[in-house]
Homo-oligomer: A and B are copies of this chain.
Amino acid sequence: MSTRKLPHIHQRRIEPAGKRLKFELLDLEFSNGATRTYSRMRTHGLGSVIIVPMQDDDTVLLAREYACGLHHYELGLPKGRLEEGESILDAANREMKEEIGYGAHELLELKDLSLAPGYMTHVTHVVLARKLYAEKLEGDEPEELDVMPWPIDDLDSLVSRPDCTEGRSIAALYIARDYIRNHPIDE
């Protein structure tokens, strides 16, 4: 496999898109001389976290939350956006407390996932949370989320459910499962 030289960015410009976001247009020249203008969506730059909260090494705690994009209740992992000045692990612990009512004594970054790297700059940090303790923080959710313990070794039947759809959530669960198999908790 060749090691390609990255396209040269000749120019970049911003195109506003409504109140919520903007596009960045890049005039690119590829290493073979081909030129294209690509656009990418820029949301706020802080990124987000998605947490794999393990009740024990066999059981992950899933949350069921209304997902407006698909107008259904989605079964997946707790997640949310980083706030200004907040570290990744602090954001993970806060989101867990808000969404499922637990903090964790052990938090570990496993992987950075992109959402749609072809046209979005967004990055989500996957955090494995173990040694949980009960603590509830008030979030901005309109209703309490249902929390659903799930055997981490049974991802097949989880993924076969029509209410478990999110790519990042499913990827994070498989990555965490394989990590836990190789790194059981030290207790």
Q: Which of A16, A17, A115, A116 has the most CB of B within 10 A?
A: A116
The answer to the question of A112 belonging to the interface, with a C-beta cut-off of 8 Å to chain B, is yes
B165 x A168 contact (CB < 8 A): no
Give the residue of B112, B118, B172, B174 whose beta carbon is less than 8 angstroms from that of A68.
B118
Smallest CB–CB gap between A178 and chain B, Å? 6
A20 x B2 contact (CB < 8 A): no
The answer to the question of A72 belonging to the interface, with a C-beta cut-off of 8 Å to chain B, is yes
Alpha-carbon gap, A120 to B70, bound state (A): 7
Q: Report chain B residues within 8 Å CB of A148.
A: 1
Interface of A is mostly: mixed
Query: By the criterion of a CB under 8 Å from any partner CB, how many residues of chain A are at the interface?
Result: 71
Chain A window 1-43, contacts with chain B (Cβ cutoff 8 Å), 1 for yes, 0 for no:
1101011010000011111110100101011101110111100
Give the residue of B67, B72, B113 whose beta carbon is less than 8 angstroms from that of A167.
B113
**Given contacts A6-B73, A114-B165, A165-B114, A20 and B39 within 8 Å (CB-CB):** yes
A114 x B166 contact (CB < 8 A): yes
B143 x A31 contact (CB < 8 A): yes
Q: Which of A114, A115, A162, A168 has the most CB of B within 10 A?
A: A114
B171 x A119 contact (CB < 8 A): no
Q: Report chain B residues within 8 Å CB of A168.
A: 116, 167-168, 171
Smallest CB–CB gap between A146 and chain B, Å? 5
B70 x A114 contact (CB < 8 A): yes
Smallest CB–CB gap between A108 and chain B, Å? 14
Q: A68-B119, A69-B117, A117-B166 are known; give 14 further A-B pairs, CB within 8 A.
A: A4-B64, A6-B72, A17-B21, A30-B142, A40-B69, A74-B114, A111-B159, A111-B160, A112-B162, A114-B167, A116-B168, A117-B165, A170-B175, A171-B174
